[in-house]
Structure 1
Amino acid sequence: MNKDEARGNWKEFKGKVKEKWGKLTDDDMQVIEGKRDQLVGKIQSRYGYEKDRAEKEVSDWERSNGHHW
């Protein structure tokens, strides 16, 4: 999947992201806009996770939702 496709699918997955990581704000969602690295960074920031843990959570979420950047 290229970056344009990921951003297009972002609208579809944004609700699922908010369900999984409810501490993410609407402003966070605008910053993330389908960018995986931004999602990982925001999860780290909001939840106080180490980068490895945030990466693992995103990877697990991707597998369970059939989504990959």
Structure 2
Amino acid sequence: MDTNHNKDNEFSKTPGDWIAQSKQLKEKFSTLTDHDLKLEKGKEKEMLERIGNRLRKNREEVMNIIKELNLS
């Protein structure tokens, strides 16, 4: 079983408005660009990789950051 695929599905089920979340991410991490945060259907994994590369964090750390936004 491909666990990475399941994690991508988990991301797509994350509640909240991505536009608002991306604005929060840009406020918190000034190095992120609109391109880094562009969410396209079916390309969530690529977006998470862009964010991770920019922030020098692994995929799990990026997911945790996004989840924390949903809690605040």
TM-score, L = length of structure 1: 0.53
Offset from partner CA, 1:19-67 (integer Å, 9 cap, x none): 02221113224x236x865553332110111111111111111111xxx
Q: Aligned pair in 2 of structure 1 residues 12, 20: CA closer, same or farther (>3 Å)? A: same
Counterpart of 1:26?
A: 34
Counterpart of 1:51?
A: 59
CA RMSD of aligned residues (A): 3.1
* Uncovered stretches (5+) of structure 1, i.e. residues with no partner: 65-69
Give the structure with the larger helix fraction. 1
**How many Å separate the matches in 2 of 1:11 and 1:51?**
20
Q: Aligned pair in 2 of structure 1 residues 55, 14: CA closer, same or farther (>3 Å)? A: closer
Residue pair 1:44, 1:54 contacting (<8 A) in 2 also = yes
Q: Which amino acid aligns with 1:48?
A: R
Counterpart of 1:67?
A: none
Aligned residues, how many?
A: 58
SS at match of 1:32: coil
Q: Aligned pair in 2 of structure 1 residues 62, 37: CA closer, same or farther (>3 Å)? A: farther
TM-score, L = length of structure 2: 0.51
Q: Aligned pair in 2 of structure 1 residues 60, 36: CA closer, same or farther (>3 Å)? A: farther
